[in-house]
Amino acid sequence: MSFPRFLLTVALAVSCTAALADNFGDPVAGERVFRKCKSCHQLGEGAKHRIGPHLNGIFGRRVGSHEDFRYSRALVRAGTGGLEWHADTLDTFLEKPRAIASGTRMSFAGLKKTEDRLNLIAYLRIFSDDPANIPEADPTATATDHNLDPAILALQGDPEYGEYLSSECTTCHQADGGDDGIPSIVFWPEEDFVLAMYAYKNKKRAHPVMQMMAGRLNAEEIAALAAYFTALEQ
Amino acid sequence: MTLNRRQFIGTTATMAAVLSAPMVRAQGKPRVVVVGGGAGGATAARYIAKGSKGAIDVTLIEPTRKYYTCFFSNLYLGGFKEIEDIGHTYGGLAAGGVNVVHDWAVGVDRDAKTVALAGGGSLPYDKLILSPGIDFVEGAVEGWGLSAQNAMPHAYKAGSQSELLKAQLVAMPAGGTFAMVAPPNPYRCPPGPYERVSMVAHFLKQNNPTAKIIVADPKPKFSKMALFQEGWANHYEGMIDWIGDDFGGGTVSVDPNEMTISIDGEVTKVDVCNVIPAMKAGRIAEIAGVTDGNWAPVNAADMSTKADADVYVLGDASSQGDMPKSGFSANSQAKVCANAVRGALTGSKVFPAKFSNTCWSLIAPDDGVKVGATYEATPEKIAKVDGFISQTGESSDLRKATYEESEGWYTGITTDMLG
């Protein structure tokens, strides 16, 4: 196995002296979590792109920026919009990949447990930084709890209100699902729609127009939009 | 047939809704007349027809059979679009249930609630929506008038004027001078003159690289100024001379016979002169008596005029508060208005007004920028909530994505307006 044990030791030593030591994940446990990723992603010395891109040096990297890997348009668009991989964005992505990029080809349901994500991120980080630079490099911050309140996901929106609100979307997003230059927003599962809107609202997704548009929608309005767009599908 | 319980309840509920509707007429359906088939009027007509599912008679009065969008008309000047790429017919609206009448509205009788047409006859209305765009303030630029618009085009209503300006640009002699007289605030499409300067510069850089551009501007600053100036320095160094208010850019006269422009007393012979005069609401708003000064003041909640609750004014012609005069704004206002008009005429639910705007501008190939904001209705005006603007020094990838986004928006909004 290619896991460099000595690096892990150094990383652990440094993390124990850091102020946030209590909040760091456990990279040894993270290595176990990484088994779920290994069928598609390589990591460590000699890692290559497989079904997914290799994950060396992922911290601080712009999303979708390996020249020699074919990403989904959704990930390229997210990266062009300025999104980078850091502890917080990785955490959001790992919990629910489609919350960051609805059209990602990464067919992975996500890691529900905060602890698993924290550990995995700590493990990934070892392959990102020269140990000597770790204090200046990305902190492996605590995974913020951005789990959507189940009550929010359970909200039943008013489709008529959603239709009215949707007219603000269709100025840019074509109602028939065309996606030249601007992504399609029809035929989305309701939950994905809600997750995406909250990701913009909470600035987890990068696009300034969408951050602004979602930023002023309240829970009822997001539910209404999701209800409307879901009903369209049927 | 016999009704089951659910159908029966449904029927009673529908009847109750109809009976409680404030404007139901004894005979016939309620009537909405929309004047002007641009971003405001076309959107309002389409959304009222679509939303009411035939319960409201919607008539759109629009003199032209083909509508050329002002947005993207600068891209036509720059060579990024053909004129037909920005031309649209009204067949989609007609198929969507809107009665499209190609005629001029020449009079409004607000007591009788009728609109007079240039072709004779008149149309009755319960609600009248005016979305006439802009006209020019007479005498705004000394020496210029509508009779001079062939020698010195404004090209600020897209179509034949755009084609004329393009033809003049193509015919410019090598090393010639293109002059623009920029308008004072407020005017249609705040970044428009400066996107146009960029597109003209792009065209000249390709075809006439020693040509010069002079801009006489009565304003000390303009929309996206830092972004345009950065772009002009990057792409068109030494080609563009912008003369702002500090240097006499507001003291301008033109002579269309001599093809000269005088800026702060200094007379220059030019080859093309694009005069964009001060603007006011399209004439029909004034005829209807709903203007105050150059524009028509409206209530932010539904775009009804301060002068008459049954007459609404959308888009450039309105005076509403913080929104810029843009196609996007007009489209946004039209949806709020359509929702309110439907509510008033059929008792359908009326939701709170929400407005938004984004203006994309192209500076050079794959170098797009944008500015935008969201707005809400307050008792006084349409007030800005939140906004953003592209930053100087952005990556070329992001600028390219912004341009591609504007292409997507163009398809989106024209479909949203016209079906």
Which residue from A80, A170, A171 is facing B398, i.e. has the nearest CB? Answer: A80
Taking only the tens place, the pLDDT of each residue in A44-102 is 888 888 888 999 989 889 999 998 888 888 888 889 988 999 888 899 999 988 888 88
Whole-angstrom CA distances from A217 to A171, A198, A200, B277, B395 are 17, 9, 11, 39, 30
Residues on chain A touching B370 (C-beta within 8 angstroms): 209
Q: At a CB cut-off of 8 Å and minimum separation 6, what does B7 contact?
A: none
C-alpha to C-alpha distance for B71 and B416, rounded to whole angstroms = 15
> Is A139 inside a domain boundary?
no
What is the domain extent for residue A204?
150-233
From A102, A133, A164, give the residue that closes a domain: A133
**Cross-chain Cβ contact B411/A178 below 8 Å:** yes
Question: Could you tell me if B374 lies within 8 Å of chain A, comparing CB atoms?
Answer: yes
Q: Which residue ranges form the domains of chain B, and what is each CATH number? A: 29-135+280-350 (3.50.50.60), 140-277 (3.50.50.60)
From A133, A164, A181, give the residue that closes a domain: A133
The Cβ-side half-sphere exposure at B255, using a 13 Å CA radius, reads 11
Instruction: Answer yes or no: are the C-beta atoms of B360 and B334 closer than 8 Å.
Output: no
Element (H, E) at A80: helix A73-80
Question: Could you tell me if B352 lies within 8 Å of chain A, comparing CB atoms?
Answer: no
Q: Are A213 and A124 members of one domain?
A: no
Q: Are A129 and A154 members of one domain?
A: no
Taking only the tens place, the pLDDT of each residue in B299-340 is 999 999 999 999 999 999 999 999 999 999 999 999 999 999
Distance from the Cα of B326 to chain A's closest Cα (Å) equals 13
Residue A171: both structure tokens together: 């100025």
pLDDT value, residue A176: 78
The confidence band for A1, taking pLDDT boundaries of 50, 70 and 90, is very low
Distance from the Cα of B103 to chain A's closest Cα (Å) equals 27
Q: Is the pLDDT of residue B11 over 50?
A: no
Taking only the tens place, the pLDDT of each residue in A164-200 is 999 999 999 988 777 778 887 876 777 778 888 998 9
Considering only alpha carbons, which residue of chain A is nearest residue B408?
A181
Taking only the tens place, the pLDDT of each residue in B192-230 is 999 999 999 999 999 999 999 999 999 999 999 999 999
Q: Is the pLDDT of residue A13 over 90?
A: no
Q: Which segment of A38-47, B286-295, B316-325, B405-414 scores lowest on mean pLDDT?
A: A38-47
Residues on chain B touching A82 (C-beta within 8 angstroms): 398
Residues 21-60 of B with CB under 8 A from A: 47
Taking only the tens place, the pLDDT of each residue in B70-122 is 999 999 999 999 999 999 999 999 999 999 999 999 999 999 999 999 999 99
CA angle A36, A38, A39 (to 5 degrees): 95
> Is A145 inside a domain boundary?
no
Distance from the Cα of A130 to chain B's closest Cα (Å) equals 27
Instruction: Answer yes or no: are the C-beta atoms of B194 and B178 closer than 8 Å.
Output: no
Q: Which of A80, A158, A160, A167 to mutate to test the interface with B (most CBs of B within 10 A)?
A: A167
Considering only alpha carbons, which residue of chain B is nearest residue A177?
B412
Q: At a CB cut-off of 8 Å and minimum separation 6, what does B253 contact?
A: B141, B142, B143, B261, B262
Considering only alpha carbons, which residue of chain B is nearest residue A162?
B351
What's the mean pLDDT in B158-177? 98
pLDDT value, residue A185: 80
What's the mean pLDDT in B361-388? 97
Q: Are A101 and A185 members of one domain?
A: no
Instruction: Answer yes or no: are the C-beta atoms of A87 and A120 closer than 8 Å.
Output: no
pLDDT value, residue B7: 41
> Is A143 inside a domain boundary?
no
Question: Could you tell me if B411 lies within 8 Å of chain A, comparing CB atoms?
Answer: yes
pLDDT value, residue B288: 98
> Is A140 inside a domain boundary?
no
pLDDT value, residue B12: 41
Q: Are A121 and A179 members of one domain?
A: no
Whole-angstrom CA distances from B5 to B2, B8, B13 are 10, 5, 12
pLDDT value, residue A132: 38
Residue B344: both structure tokens together: 């008033």
Residue type, A229: F
Q: Are A56 and A100 members of one domain?
A: yes
The confidence band for B266, taking pLDDT boundaries of 50, 70 and 90, is very high
**Cross-chain Cβ contact A171/B409 below 8 Å:** yes
CB pairs under 8 A between A and B: 89
pLDDT value, residue A146: 53
Question: Could you tell me if B398 lies within 8 Å of chain A, comparing CB atoms?
Answer: yes
From the CB of residue A203, how many other CB atoms can be counted at a distance below 10 Å? 13
Q: Are A111 and A192 members of one domain?
A: no
- In 3D, which of A193, A200, A202 has the Cα closest to residue A222? A193
Q: Is the pLDDT of residue B42 over 90?
A: yes
- In 3D, which of B9, B61, B51 has the Cα closest to residue B30? B51
Q: Which of B341, B406, B411 to mutate to test the interface with A (most CBs of A within 10 A)?
A: B411
Residues on chain B touching A161 (C-beta within 8 angstroms): 349, 351
Question: Could you tell me if A156 lies within 8 Å of chain B, comparing CB atoms?
Answer: no
**Average pLDDT of chain B?**
94
Strand partners, B419: none
Question: Could you tell me if A3 lies within 8 Å of chain B, comparing CB atoms?
Answer: no
The bridge status of strand B99-101 relative to strand B105-109 is: unpaired
CATH number at residue A169: 1.10.760.10
Q: Are A10 and A92 members of one domain?
A: yes
**Cross-chain Cβ contact A181/B409 below 8 Å:** yes
- In 3D, which of B57, B62, B67 has the Cα closest to residue B28? B57
Q: How many domains, chain A?
A: 2
Q: Are A116 and A196 members of one domain?
A: no
pLDDT value, residue B16: 42
Taking only the tens place, the pLDDT of each residue in A130-148 is 543 443 444 433 334 456 7
ipTM of model: 0.83
**Average pLDDT of chain A?**
79
The confidence band for A3, taking pLDDT boundaries of 50, 70 and 90, is very low
**Cross-chain Cβ contact B409/A215 below 8 Å:** no
pLDDT value, residue B146: 92
Which residue from A164, A181, A211 is facing B405, i.e. has the nearest CB? Answer: A181
The bridge status of strand B212-216 relative to strand B177-181 is: parallel
> Is A219 inside a domain boundary?
yes
Q: Which segment of A14-18, B304-308, B379-383 scores lowest on mean pLDDT?
A: A14-18
C-alpha to C-alpha distance for A48 and A84, rounded to whole angstroms = 21
**Cross-chain Cβ contact B328/A208 below 8 Å:** no
Q: At a CB cut-off of 8 Å and minimum separation 6, what does A174 contact?
A: A182, A184, B408, B411, B412, B415
Residues on chain B touching A208 (C-beta within 8 angstroms): 372, 388
Residue A48: both structure tokens together: 């290559």
Q: Which segment of A205-209, A228-232, B317-321 scores lowest on mean pLDDT?
A: A228-232
**Cross-chain Cβ contact A171/B356 below 8 Å:** yes
**Cross-chain Cβ contact B349/A160 below 8 Å:** yes
What's the mean pLDDT in B255-279? 98
> Which value, in Å, is the radius of gyration of the alpha carbons in chain B?
23
Question: Could you tell me if B391 lies within 8 Å of chain A, comparing CB atoms?
Answer: no
Q: Are A127 and A25 members of one domain?
A: yes
Q: Is the pLDDT of residue A24 over 80?
A: no
Which residue from A170, A209, A216 is facing B372, i.e. has the nearest CB? Answer: A209
Considering only alpha carbons, which residue of chain B is nearest residue A65?
B397
Residue B292: both structure tokens together: 């105050």
Percent share of chain B, pLDDT over 90: 93
C-alpha to C-alpha distance for B253 and B270, rounded to whole angstroms = 13
Instruction: Answer yes or no: are the C-beta atoms of B374 and B356 closer than 8 Å.
Output: yes
Considering only alpha carbons, which residue of chain B is nearest residue A81?
B398
The confidence band for A205, taking pLDDT boundaries of 50, 70 and 90, is confident
What's the mean pLDDT in B282-290? 98
Question: Could you tell me if B369 lies within 8 Å of chain A, comparing CB atoms?
Answer: no
Q: Are A114 and A18 members of one domain?
A: yes
Residues on chain B touching A170 (C-beta within 8 angstroms): 412, 415-416
pLDDT value, residue A25: 85
Q: Are A171 and A218 members of one domain?
A: yes
From A103, A133, A163, give the residue that closes a domain: A133
- In 3D, which of A41, A60, A52, A53 has the Cα closest to residue A2? A41
Q: Are A88 and A200 members of one domain?
A: no
Instruction: Answer yes or no: are the C-beta atoms of A205 and A138 closer than 8 Å.
Output: no
Q: Which segment of B7-11, B254-258, B288-292, B380-384 scores lowest on mean pLDDT?
A: B7-11
C-alpha to C-alpha distance for B53 and B96, rounded to whole angstroms = 10
Which residue from A176, A179, A213 is facing B356, i.e. has the nearest CB? Answer: A213
Residue A89: both structure tokens together: 């964005």
